Structure 1
Amino acid sequence: MNKVIIVGRLTRDPEVRYTQTGKAVASFSVAVDTGYGENKRADFIPVVVWDKLAEVCGNNLTKGRRVLVEGRLQIRDYEKDGQKRRAADVVAQNIEFLDTKQQAVSGGSTAASPAKSSGYDVSSFGTEVFPEEEIPF
């Protein structure tokens, strides 16, 4: 199984391009906080989105917007300046906008209106404890 879920903020506006066959593809990076205290840092994860979802992202997302990205990890090999290189991207299958455009511009919190996705509250990941008989999977 290859499944990736990340939550973070866009580091730049999505760049939307079209293939020769007319398929839309958008790319952007998401800054994901990791660690805590003195060890806190951010990982900058490249994301690729295809088709209609790419157009939706290009029309609605901007730098600083908070998103949940669900997809798969893709490793690709390429050559640059005669050297073989490897890159990893998240190919998004679902993207949830976790704030509004106004909240992103003002730096406001999303606590007053948590985003809902597939019936679960993404603002409470890891905080709910289930009795052993009620594990939801």
Structure 2
Amino acid sequence: MNKVILMGRLTRDPDVRYTQGEEPMAIARFTLAVDRRGKRDGEASADFPSCVCFRRTAEFIEKYAHQGTKLVVVGRIQTGSYTNRDGQKVYTTDVVVEEAEFAESKAAADRNTQQTPPPSPDTGADGFMNIPDGIEEELPFD
């Protein structure tokens, strides 16, 4: 079984591109900073897995995720290789993200980045946006 579940913060804004053709497909690439359990020499450490996602998941990432956003992603490990311009073989390992969701509320994210904006009239007490009735089909997730 090849299944990965990670929780971490985006190290920078995602790189989103679209394929050419009749029906362009979104492809998002990003890196997560994932804390390791325990400390080494008294200091916390982290891993930085490269992630890639496609279609609706990539569109969700493009629209809602930015540097510092804390996400939980579910996917699989994929390895590959290619020959670079210098003729050297380069090996790759990516997490192919099949599902992504927020790991904290917007209010918690704002507190963590020390940039608390004034409360929005569309935001409830829990920090999540109030969604009007009848627009479920427009939401970027299943």
Same fold? TM cut 0.5: yes
Seen in structure 2, the aligned counterparts of structure 1 residues 101 and 79 have a Cα distance that, compared at 3 Å, is farther
Letter in 2 for 1:62: H
| Gaps in structure 1 of 5+ consecutive residues | 114-137
Q: Distance in 2 between matches of 1:62 and 1:99?
A: 14
Q: 2:106 and 2:66 mapped to 1: Cα distance?
A: 8
The answer on 1:15 being equivalent to 2:20 is no
Post-superposition Cα deviations, 1:59-80, rounded to whole Å, max 9, x if no partner, equal 0001111111100101010112
Q: Structure 1 residue 39: deviation in Å? A: 5.5
Aligned residues between the structures: 109
Is residue 2:76 matched to residue 1:69? Answer: no
Q: Distance between the aligned counterparts of 1:99 and 1:8, measured in 2?
A: 11
1:90 to 86, 89, 95: 95
What do residues 38-67 of structure 1 show as CA deviations (whole Å, max 9, x unaligned)? 263111011101001101110000111111
Identity %: 42
Unaligned runs of 5+ in 2: 114-125, 127-142
- Counterpart check, 1:46 vs 2:50: yes
Match of 2:140 in 1: none
TM superposition score normalised by structure 2: 0.71
Matches within 5 A, 1:28-39: 28-37=30-39, 38=42
Distance in 2 between the 1:5 and 1:24 partners? 22
Runs of 4+ in 1 over 3 A off after TM superposition: none
> So what's the TM-score if we normalise by structure 1?
0.73
1:36 Cα deviation from its structure 2 partner: 1.8
Separation of aligned partners in 1, 2:28 and 2:98: 12
Q: CA deviation at 1:98?
A: 1.1
Q: Letter of the aligned partner of 1:92 in structure 2? A: V
**8 A Cα contact 1:65 1:101, kept in partner:** no
